[in-house]
Amino acid sequence: MQIGDIKKICVVGAGNMGHQIALQAALSGFRVSCTDTSTDALQKAAQFVETYLPERVVKGKLTTEQAASARENIGFTGSLEEAARDADFVIEAATEKIVLKRKIFAELDRICPPHAILATNSSFIVSSKIADATSRPSQVCNMHFFNPALVMKLVEVVQGAHTAPETAEVTVELCRRMGKTPVLLKKEIYGFLVNRILAALSNEALFLLDQEIASAEDIDVAVVNALGHPLGPFRLMDLTGIDLSYHIAMELYQETGNPSEKPSPTIVEKYARGEWGRKTGRGFYQY
């Protein structure tokens, strides 16, 4: 398949990442169908679009015509069949649970046209753990956007051993057509590029907090003012979701059996309390 063959994109998952990826694709001129099993998530996603586009027009970031075109390009549905049956490219942005992703990809393989590429937005789970749930492993890869997807430029495209070079090339070019800056990983590695570096920083910050060496606030202040990061590790975890941090760590621990891979006691405690960051109004900070 060539990049010019991509007319319709299906985004699976209408959460914070999914609906922003979908809107970015719509703003870039693609027809987009965003689907989710949660009616509440779909309603919130649709409301976000209705609010975001006029705001961008008022700020002079979009013309009225551009906003109207994007609104025309995007749709939301609770039916995976409806969203994916005529899709040329699928971006899965569901919860970071491998069993769920394999189930979704098996369904997508059944529903989608034979030429369609199936990409996962997973930030840690490599696509080789998902590809064999389909009959088209050569058309499966990682396409990892960063949060917030409408703002962050980088996208990591990961070419597993099963991924055809053509699939990786088309995915990289699609990133560019969506106004993003792609980087291509020629081999799979857990955590990819950015999250491997970020995980080392976050894990050390959590260790310092768990050992009561410093508060979350002071660790954030140190990282921002000494290292020049725009956000400290704890504010960043609040932004991306403490539930995500918990699920990623648990997936790795269940895979390796290594006790050192278990989530931090602080992460476990906050996950159990439902203090997941911005999305719940409380995490390491209150919102």
Instruction: List, for residues 107-162, the tens digit of each pLDDT value.
Output: 999 999 999 999 999 988 999 999 999 999 999 999 999 989 999 999 999 999 99
Instruction: State residue 238 phi and psi, 5-degree precision.
Output: -65, -40
Q: What angle do CA 138, 143, 148 make, to 5 degrees?
A: 165
Q: What is the CATH number of the domain that holds 170?
A: 3.40.50.720
How many CB atoms sit inside 10 A of residue 236's CB? 21
Same domain, 101 and 168: yes
Same domain, 261 and 181: no
Same domain, 157 and 241: no
Q: What is the mean pLDDT of the chain?
A: 96
Same domain, 174 and 210: no
Among 156, 185, 214, give the residue marking a domain's end. Answer: 185
User: Is 99 contained in some domain?
Assistant: yes
What average pLDDT does the segment 164-191 reach?
Answer: 97
Question: What's the gap between Cα 189 and its chain centre?
Answer: 17
Same domain, 171 and 229: no
- Judged against a pLDDT cut of 90, whether residue 222 lies above it is answered with yes
Question: For residue 158, what pLDDT is reported?
Answer: 98
Among 185, 214, 230, give the residue marking a domain's end. Answer: 185
- Domain tally for the chain? 2
User: Is 192 contained in some domain?
Assistant: no
Same domain, 156 and 211: no
- Residue 199 pLDDT level (bands cut at 50, 70, 90): confident
Contact call for residues 11 and 21 (beta carbons, < 8 A): yes
- Residue 22 pLDDT level (bands cut at 50, 70, 90): very high
Same domain, 122 and 210: no
- Residue 190 pLDDT level (bands cut at 50, 70, 90): confident
Residues above pLDDT 70, as percent of the chain:
100
- Judged against a pLDDT cut of 90, whether residue 248 lies above it is answered with no
What is d(CA 109, CA 104) in angstroms, rounded to the nearest whole number? 9
Q: Tokens for 40, please give them.
A: 């509440």
Question: For residue 48, what pLDDT is reported?
Answer: 98
User: Is 94 contained in some domain?
Assistant: yes
User: Is 282 contained in some domain?
Assistant: no
Same domain, 171 and 204: no
Helix (H, G, I), strand (E, B) or coil at 49: helix
154 has which bridge partners?
181
User: Is 283 contained in some domain?
Assistant: no
Question: For residue 75, what pLDDT is reported?
Answer: 98
- Residue 255 pLDDT level (bands cut at 50, 70, 90): confident
Same domain, 122 and 243: no
Residues above pLDDT 90, as percent of the chain:
91
User: Is 190 contained in some domain?
Assistant: no
Q: What is the CATH number of the domain that holds 262?
A: 1.10.1040.10
Question: For residue 124, what pLDDT is reported?
Answer: 85
Looking at 59-63, 137-141, 244-248, which range is the least confident one? Answer: 244-248
User: Is 180 contained in some domain?
Assistant: yes
The residues carrying an active-site annotation are 123, 144, 156, 195
- Judged against a pLDDT cut of 90, whether residue 201 lies above it is answered with yes
pLDDT digit string (tens) for 87-113? Answer: 999 999 999 889 999 999 999 999 999
User: pTM of this prediction?
Assistant: 0.82
Question: For residue 143, what pLDDT is reported?
Answer: 98
What is d(CA 254, CA 159) in angstroms, rounded to the nearest whole number? 24
Domain ranges, residue 246: 197-277
Contact call for residues 185 and 192 (beta carbons, < 8 A): yes
Same domain, 179 and 110: yes
pLDDT digit string (tens) for 31-50? Answer: 999 999 999 999 999 999 99
Among 164, 185, 206, give the residue marking a domain's end. Answer: 185
Same domain, 246 and 127: no
Same domain, 176 and 238: no
Question: For residue 66, what pLDDT is reported?
Answer: 98
Question: For residue 251, what pLDDT is reported?
Answer: 83
Question: For residue 225, what pLDDT is reported?
Answer: 98
User: Is 286 contained in some domain?
Assistant: no
